[in-house]
Structure 1
Amino acid sequence: MTRRRRIVRIAGRMLAVLAGVPVVGAAALLLWDGGIDAGPRRELVPGVRIDLRTAATRLGPVEYDLYGSRGPVLLSVHAGLGGADQGRLFASWLQDDGLRILSPSRPGYLGTPLESGRTNEEQADLLAALLDELGIDRVGVLAISAGSPVGYTFAARHPDRVWALVSVGGVSGPQPGGSPSPLRRTFLNTVGQKLVRLTEKISLSTVVEGTLDETSTFDSRRRAERVSYIMGTPRARTFFEAMFDTTFPYPKRWPGTDNDAAQARRADPPLERVKAPALLIHGTQDGDVPFAHAESAARRIPGAELYRMERDDHLGFWLGPSATRAQAAARTFLRRHAPNG
């Protein structure tokens, strides 16, 4: 079955699910809040909380969460459709490692206005200004997907501020914007996102399958195996639900997502100028950001290490059977390079 036919089938399944809820019409969807707590202080998953604040930096306001009170700081640079909540969630596997975790909302996401910085260079300098405002000297960087060009640029422009860099599924060069799939077009508007949200509450496996169609190049058998794994593994299922929550509500994340797409079309981070130790983690069957991005970055960043997640997708670092092993490799790398204190 072709990818397009699979997506049409999944979209049809979503409509079939929704057909069983006749009381929900477009007007009701517009009024519905999505059934999640999107406030600045909340629990993302058991044991992982955020407390969003805003720093008035010299380059503009930045919303952020800072977890922990002692230890080296890890700066989590979130992906597209995200925000500080997503950055905190994606770095939560490190919260018991003696690190402080700094998770800002990049410009155009949640409480950070797009005017605080549109280009990768402006966003990199904004991160440096945030560190100045918070009195933080140096950080390790965890950069994810569409956030990686900002992470790379930050490391290149402010080499004295970075003690290590880990990129997961990172964009490292131009990412031409093709026509979005029917499923993605459905998601990228307020009513459509609420339809997907309602489907998630009724048939989570349908949304998991649709997500994997976007994030992987799996064949039908491997896709079904991964859906089964996520649905049958409490840790992975809970994480998927929380990750989905960090894309909602869409209007507060649209300006940044749209800007990321514009920046990605001409992305060319100065990888040769990255001086910090770098670890690049990428699934070989990533359907969102092709594995070639990691191979290119590994060639261009001096001394970079490449960790291949064999036969894994864009989200396997958190949701796949090999997630624990990949996270352990990243943890070892960060411990090796973290400063004392």
Structure 2
Amino acid sequence: MSAHDFDNCIQTTAGLVEAEVSGSGIPILILHGSPGGIDAARSMSHFLDKDRFKVICLSRPGYLNTPLSPDPDHRSIDDEAELIAALLDTLGIPRVGILAWSGGGPVAYQLASRHPHRVSSLVAIAAGSSSWIAPKTHITERIVFGTKLGERMIKFMSAHWPKHVVEAALEGEGSLRGNELHVLAEQVMADPAQSQLVLEMALTVNVGGPRKEGWENDVKNFASIKSLGLEQVQCPVLLIHGDADTDALPSYSESAHARLPLSKLVIMPRGTHLSFYAHPQAHEVQEKAKKWFLDHA
């Protein structure tokens, strides 16, 4: 790995974090899912206006250039929350809004419950809120999403047959099939922001290479979740979930809504795991999220 690969790495009291800050205004911390990395966080943040929001993107532990702790006993969700708190200290940012998607949910809840004064509000998109067991994957899936060859295939397909990649992503992240799936894929392809997001995300979900350690650590941590301290979360939480999501079932957001002291739940009809970014109502819910951050800053 060459020296410039670590340009974005910030040394904190709790360890090294690959992170970057852009824009100005209300600070928003972006927590990507599993697998992912700073590239996924950047894609997630495109909808936030850079003149109203200061965006903090990072790679969670074990992803890309954020190393896992050398001590196997310090790789928990709690440890990750402390690492992020240390990053905010190093950046001199006392308080943030958090945008968390999917596997970024557990650490977002943990950070908000452990450091209530640090989190002004939270937007949780299809976010894990209790234990999750990784499903067994088919050999084809393991090749496409777990190898260098698979990564090259997706890059090639994205460049030459983007609609195929978009439709396959929507199919893999939800229960839509047949004409319903086809219509949604057409709608997403007709919207440059939506299609760009899906194509960018397709390149960040490989569970091999520089994302392997993070993925394996998340799988282990998520399987053993007992409590994320949801009852102690003091900030307002906006929960957004598609009702056709098969990756993180809507029950994660429904049960979180029942346990969080201050939350609002938005269910997106026929929405997949990608619905916040790829859905007829995506623009509308993104505006809701921005307003949530502005109203609770």
If the length of structure 2 is used for normalisation, what is the TM-score? 0.91
Residues 242-261 of structure 1: matches in 2 within 5 Å?
Answer: 242-247=200-205, 250-261=208-219
TM-superposed CA distance for 1:191, in Å, is 2.1
Contact kept, 8 Å, 2:169 with 2:198, in 1: the verdict is no
Match of 2:68 in 1: 114
Tell me the SS of whatever aligns to 1:115. Answer: coil
Match of 1:327 in 2: 286
- Hey, what's the Cα distance between the residues in 2 that align with 1:122 and 1:137? 19
Contact kept, 8 Å, 2:146 with 2:206, in 1: the verdict is no
Indicate the RMSD between aligned Cα atoms, in angstroms.
Answer: 2.0
- Hey, what's the Cα distance between the residues in 2 that align with 1:301 and 1:52? 38
- Of 20, 42, 61, the residue aligned with 2:16 is 61
Residues 1-341 of structure 1: matches in 2 within 5 Å?
Answer: 53-68=8-23, 70-96=24-50, 98-115=52-69, 118-186=75-143, 187-247=145-205, 250-267=208-225, 268-338=227-297
Match of 1:18 in 2: none
Alpha carbons of structure 1 residues 145 and 52: separation in structure 2 relative to 1, 3 Å = farther
Q: Which amino acid aligns with 1:292?
A: S
- Hey, what's the Cα distance between the residues in 2 that align with 1:261 and 1:118? 12
Q: State the structure with more CA Rg.
A: 1
Contiguous gaps of at least 5 residues in structure 2? none
Q: Which amino acid aligns with 2:96?
A: V
Tell me the SS of whatever aligns to 1:317. Answer: coil
Alpha carbons of structure 1 residues 313 and 328: separation in structure 2 relative to 1, 3 Å = same
- Hey, what's the Cα distance between the residues in 1 that align with 2:256 and 2:68? 27
TM-superposed CA distance for 1:182, in Å, is 4.4
Identical-residue share of aligned pairs (%): 33
- Hey, what's the Cα distance between the residues in 2 that align with 1:172 and 1:220? 31
Contact kept, 8 Å, 2:175 with 2:272, in 1: the verdict is yes
- Hey, what's the Cα distance between the residues in 2 that align with 1:181 and 1:327? 34
- Hey, what's the Cα distance between the residues in 2 that align with 1:224 and 1:298? 32
Alpha carbons of structure 1 residues 249 and 120: separation in structure 2 relative to 1, 3 Å = closer
Contact kept, 8 Å, 1:284 with 1:310, in 2: the verdict is yes
- Hey, what's the Cα distance between the residues in 2 that align with 1:59 and 1:155? 18
- Hey, what's the Cα distance between the residues in 2 that align with 1:312 and 1:151? 22
TM-superposed CA distance for 1:248, in Å, is 6.4
Alpha carbons of structure 1 residues 249 and 262: separation in structure 2 relative to 1, 3 Å = closer
